[in-house]
Amino acid sequence: MPRMSSGPTLKGLAALIGISPSAVSMALNGRPGVSDELRERVRAIAEEQGYRPNFAARALRVERSNMLGLISRNLSNPGYLRLIDGFSGAAEEQGYQILIGTSDLDRSRETNMIRAMTNRQLDGLAIAPIDVEAVLATWRGESDRPVVLVNSARSARSSGAMSIRGDASQAVRLAVDHLLELGHHRIGLLTNPGLSSASERVSLFRRKMKAAGLPSRVISGGTADETVGRVLRALSRVDRPTAVITDSDLLAHHVYDAAIEAGLRIPRDLSVVGHDDLPTSHLLGPALTTIALDRFEIGRQAATMLIGALNGDEIERPHRELPVELKVRKSTARSAG
């Protein structure tokens, strides 16, 4: 068979053989849906044509595991359960099984989890990283398969890995603008400094407050007790914040606890804006105003990006930021001063 004049592509190979691109993909990746005879024919022609899309060269030599990995930061967070639902559903539709792990916000555990998963010969990995550089160094040292960074800092784009997250800039803008419209001038940001995205969110917050001609107040969280204590100290100051934005709805719970200890009522004395729109957030007293992030869709798209890369497809928008939405409930009100 004559060689294709230009570099072979999945579609070109399919046209040459006379079958659909999806059939070529199934044959090369060892997935069910094609006969053994067609599988061998496709692989032979692909080898002859020098077809080498992302990771397909290895697929010509060995069967795939048909297994994808997902490492979240915390399985006790309902938001990550939604992400897992989206990821596993999309993967299973394409015939992949899922291996799930958690870092529990521990860097050494994160590294060990990655190594454990590479021992299972995963076809690809999606991970919500604590430390992007360490994650990629570990994964790439053990595997040549694709990886998607989930909810990582924007700077991760320069790493060469695919990424998907909510729009952090839009999230900060919506939260700050909402509080400014309510007359708040002393606004604090409560972050989790252990996350790779924390410094970016702080920078976005400072920039937004500076543009409004206002000071920025940042509170670094820690353990549950440490976070409550640090928020309590901030709320005990004479010039205390009249509103607090948090990196997550779970952190917002700690602000509620600190407000009770400080004798402050939400929202009369203190307005609070969360981030995630967890299923339990509207059950808080008062119901939490929060930034809604569709983690199910993030998980779904992370899986399709991995599978597309494995199939040799050209990934449209390898770095994705999904829009977020402000859900105004009962935890924010006009500033009393």
CA-nearest of 120, 275, 267 to 191 is: 275
Is 61 or 3 the better-scoring residue by pLDDT? Answer: 3
What's this model's pTM, rounded to 2 decimal places?
A: 0.77
Euclidean distance between CA atoms 147 and 136, whole angstroms: 8
Helices 168-181 & 198-211 angle (0-180, nearest 10): 40
Is 323 exposed, middle or buried (CB count within 10 Å of its CB: 0-12, 13-18, 19+)?
exposed
Residue range 67-165+295-322 in CATH 3.30.1300.10:
no
Q: Specify the DSSP class assigned to residue 298.
A: H
- 3-state percent helix, strand, coil for the chain, nearest multiple of 5: 45, 15, 40
H-only helix segments in 143-280: 168-181, 198-211, 224-235, 249-262
Q: For residue 48, count other CB atoms closer than 10 A to its CB.
A: 12
Label residues 5-41 b or e (16+ Cβ within 10 Å = b): eeebbbebbbebbebebebbbbbbbbbeebeeebbee
pLDDT band at 163 (very low <50, low <70, confident <90, very high): very high
Q: Specify the DSSP class assigned to residue 44.
A: H
pLDDT in tens, 306-334: 999 888 887 888 899 999 999 999 999 99
Q: Specify the DSSP class assigned to residue 157.
A: G
With 80 as the cut, is the pLDDT of residue 159 above it?
A: no
Give percent of the chain with pLDDT exceeding 90: 51
**For the chain, where do the domains classified as CATH 3.40.50.2300 start and end?**
67-165+295-322, 168-293
Architecture (CATH level 2) of domain 168-293: 3-Layer(aba) Sandwich (3.40)
Rg (CA), the chain: 24
Q: Which two tokens stand for residue 5?
A: 């004049």
- The amino acid that residue 198 corresponds to is A
- The amino acid that residue 17 corresponds to is I
* CATH class of the domain comprising 10-61: mainly alpha
Euclidean distance between CA atoms 197 and 172, whole angstroms: 13
Per the prediction, the chain carries an average pLDDT of: 87
* Residue recorded with tokens 């060892």: 30
Say what the pLDDT of residue 56 is: 44
With 60 as the cut, is the pLDDT of residue 112 above it?
A: yes
298 in Cβ contact with 166 (< 8 Å) = yes
**For the chain, where do the domains classified as CATH 1.10.260 start and end?**
10-61
Q: Specify the DSSP class assigned to residue 123.
A: S
With 50 as the cut, is the pLDDT of residue 62 above it?
A: no
pLDDT in tens, 9-46: 777 888 888 888 777 877 876 666 678 888 888 888 88
293 in Cβ contact with 266 (< 8 Å) = no
Say what the pLDDT of residue 60 is: 40
pLDDT in tens, 115-141: 888 888 889 999 988 888 888 888 888
Say what the pLDDT of residue 7 is: 59
- The amino acid that residue 122 corresponds to is L
